[in-house]
């Protein structure tokens, strides 16, 4: 309850009333406590939290914009090159920057900044990669559970998925189109991401000499996860890692 004092200032009072019996007659016992200082502290904390959220939102927005500028510069440089190894390097770098920029874009459109909706992020990532490589003869599908992943896991996860999808698009379908099927599901407190294509297959691992698969190894270690590749009517790549505190 808010009350006015004699000097015109206001105070917050918390009152508690209860029925009782006094000397055989009904009575009301009451207590009052001045909670003004606590209220003022709570209001200050709320204002501080709002300012912090606004600041974080602005930071993610600026980071996203800066990464988009970097991507645009890479596009301009790549367009000036002939098809071949140098152009492919720019395309790969652009795709990796894009996967990180999408993290900040997802955070900017969210009310939470400590983790992201993995399904929403993967949908954006798959769509952007498909548009970037313009392989309209390859169908990409995604089956993902709605689950939240903290940033320490989301960024390497996005980079790994970027490498797997782009490898399939660039090397898995040299003669004709096909399909890439992606799933992101949870099993016993772990996230299991599978990328399966119907292509001709491609070399993987450090022995293949590709930076992309070396990055996959490094990022899998960062996730403290496991990564495997099999040949089964195409290439099947599986990444598993633990959810924080086992929470979905």
| Choice between 20 and 105, residue whose per-residue pLDDT is larger | 20
- Does the residue 135 lie in any domain? yes
Asked if pLDDT for residue 222 goes beyond 50, the answer is yes
pLDDT of residue 2: 78
Q: Tell me the C-alpha distance between 219 and 231, whole Å.
A: 22
The mean of the pLDDT values for the chain is: 80
pLDDT single digits (tens) 69-88: 667 766 666 666 676 667 66
In a domain, 95, yes or no: no
Q: How many CB atoms lie within 10 A of CB 130?
A: 17
pLDDT (tens digit per residue) in 201-216: 766 544 444 677 888 9
**Could you list the residue range(s) of the whole structural domain that residue 149 is in?**
116-248
Cβ pair 235, 196 in contact under 8 A: yes
Number of domains observed in the structure of the chain: 1
Asked if the structure places residue 220 within a domain, the reply is yes
Give CA separation, 231 vs 105, 170, 180, 185, 200, in Å.
35, 17, 14, 21, 9
Check residue 169 and give its pLDDT: 86
109 in a structural domain:
no
CA–CA separation, 69 and 155 (whole Å): 19
d(CA 50, CA 60): 16
CATH code, domain carrying 197: 3.30.565.10
């Amino acid at each position: 309850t808010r009350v006015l004092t004699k000097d015109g200032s206001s105070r917050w009072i918390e009152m508690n009333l209860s029925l009782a019996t006094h000397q055989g007659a009904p009575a009301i016992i009451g207590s009052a406590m001045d909670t003004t200082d606590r209220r003022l502290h709570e209001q200050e904390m709320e204002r501080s939290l709002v300012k912090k959220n606004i600041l974080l939102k602005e930071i993610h927005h600026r980071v996203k914009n800066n990464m988009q500028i970097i991507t645009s510069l890479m596009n301009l440089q790549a367009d000036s090159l002939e098809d071949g190894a140098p152009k492919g390097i720019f395309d790969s770098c652009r795709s990796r920057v894009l996967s990180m920029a999408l993290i900040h874009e997802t955070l900017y459109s969210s009310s939470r900044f400590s983790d992201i909706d993995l399904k929403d992020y993967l949908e954006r990532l798959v769509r952007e990669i498909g548009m970037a490589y313009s392989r309209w003869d390859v169908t990409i599908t995604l089956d993902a559970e709605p689950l939240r992943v903290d940033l320490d896991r989301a960024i390497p996860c996005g980079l790994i998925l970027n490498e797997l999808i782009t490898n399939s698009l660039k090397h898995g379908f040299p003669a004709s189109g096909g399909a890439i099927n992606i799933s992101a599901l949870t099993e016993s407190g772990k996230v299991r991401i599978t990328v399966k294509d119907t292509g001709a297959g491609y070399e993987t691992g450090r022995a293949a000499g590709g930076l992309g698969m070396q990055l996959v190894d490094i990022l899998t270690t960062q996730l403290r996860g496991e990564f495997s590749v099999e040949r089964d009517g195409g290439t099947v790549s599986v990444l598993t890692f633990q959810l924080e505190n086992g929470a979905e």
